[in-house]
Amino acid sequence: MAQQANHALPEGYQIDHYRIERQLSLGGFSIVYLATERDGRRVAIKEYLPNSLALRGEGEITPSISQEHLGAFRYGMKCFFEEGRALAKLSHPNVVRVLNFFRANETVYMVMEYEEGSTLQEYIQRRQKPVSENFLRNVFTRVLNGLREVHTHKLLHLDLKPSNIYLRGDGTPLLIDFGAARQTLALDTPMLKPMYTPGFASPEHYLRQELGPWSDIYSIGASMYACIALAAPQAADLRQEKDQVVPAMVRWEGKYSDQLLETIDWCLCLNHLYRPQSVFALQKALTETPPPPEAKAEEAPRSWLGSLIGKLRKQETT
């Protein structure tokens, strides 16, 4: 089935004990709605509806699924449901809170807390200039707090990028739109096109190698890079053919601390064995206080981490 855009449920539609207010986002795997509970509380509802496997036309409620794709659709629905159930066990201020999940209209829905704010991607686009080092450290330290909790529960995000980091009104970040379910479906269903984002997806995504915390860490590095460059770095598969990503330590030397730039480059190593192997290791690097400007000016030799990353990048390209 060719990929096509599915139509959202109509405004005012009642599903379970929620009223659909409007569509928030539409992707190749799901549709997210703003909805209201009977008590007036607003929530976000994510509907499982991969457009490679199911079609819902205008004015329709139940999607059409061909017999050929029914097995894959049901398998993906099971993955989506299990991911929702696992996320519902998490309670962390930097991870979206899952409140409920239910079946209806031949598919599955995940109900999440809704908060006012915008995505980090929207913030970058509005700003139209690189973010400050303090902003990067403050936001991503909290993002890593949430990601560490996710990994502690033996879960992975697998679709980390600025558009999946939500900034509340007070500026604190929230991890949203986990991609583990759609990644599992794509790996086990050859007919489907990849469901990851070029520039932010790790090399392991493309090579169909084992995914782990190190895969999310690559995406963290790519997201930090994008916050400064205002664009995603080169896609990992293209980097493996001919790496054209200018190291952060070279591109922004003197504009950000060496320690921060080295940390970004560390995350973006193509070989996952050369990256931080845990969120804890990355947190330790990101929360280190950079040296004062006068000390930095006097420091002639490159730091041990910078030297190591430089050697590793040379090995990767030879």
**In this predicted model, what pLDDT tens digit does every residue of 250-294 receive, in sequence order?**
999 999 999 999 999 999 999 999 999 999 999 999 988 665 554
User: How far is residue 284 CA from its own chain's centroid?
Assistant: 21
52 and 173 co-located in one domain: no
Which of 3-17, 42-56, 157-171, 294-308 is the least confident region? 294-308
Who has greater pLDDT, 226 or 309? 226
Q: Which of 113, 145, 178 is the last residue of a domain?
A: 113
Residues 6+ apart with CB under 8 A from 40: none
Give the phi and the psi of residue 176 in degrees, each rounded to 5.
-130, 170
Q: What is the pLDDT of residues 152-168, one digit of tens each?
A: 999 999 999 999 999 99
Q: Tell whether 54 and 40 lie within a shared domain.
A: yes
- Which residues share a beta bridge with 277? none
The CA-based dihedral angle spanning residues 12, 15, 16, 22, taken in that order and rounded to the nearest 10 degrees: -60
> How many residues are there in the chain?
318
User: What does the mean pLDDT of the chain come to?
Assistant: 89
Q: What is the pTM of this model?
A: 0.87
Nearest partner of 219 among 120, 315, 105, 293, judged by Cα: 120
For residue 91, give the H/E element and its range: none
Are residue 97 and residue 170 in the same domain, yes or no?
no
Residue pointed to by tokens 């400007």: 293
Residue range of the domain that includes 49: 14-113
- Among 113, 146, 172, the domain-final residue is 113
Between 7 and 308, the more confident residue is: 7
Percent of the chain with pLDDT over 90: 75
Would you say 254 and 299 are in contact if contact means Cβ atoms under 8 Å apart? Answer: no
Distance separating alpha carbons of residues 248 and 55, to the nearest angstrom: 43
- Asked whether residue 3 is domain-assigned, the answer is no
Query: Total domain count for the chain?
Result: 2
CATH of the domain at 60: 3.30.200.20
Do 82 and 230 lie in one domain? The reply is: no
Compute the distance between CA of residue 184 and CA of residue 182 in angstroms, rounded to an integer.
5
Sheet holding 173-175, edge to edge: 117-119, 165-168, 173-175
> Within 66-127, where are the H helices?
67-87, 120-127
Identify the CA nearest to 220 among candidates 307, 157, 176: 157
168 shares a domain with 93: no
Q: How far apart are CA 4 and CA 122, in angstroms?
A: 25
Within 13 Å and on the Cβ side, how many CA atoms surround 238? 9
265 occurs within a structural domain: yes
Same domain, 51 and 105: yes
pLDDT at residue 296, rounded to an integer? 42
CATH number at residue 241: 1.10.510.10
1: in domain? no
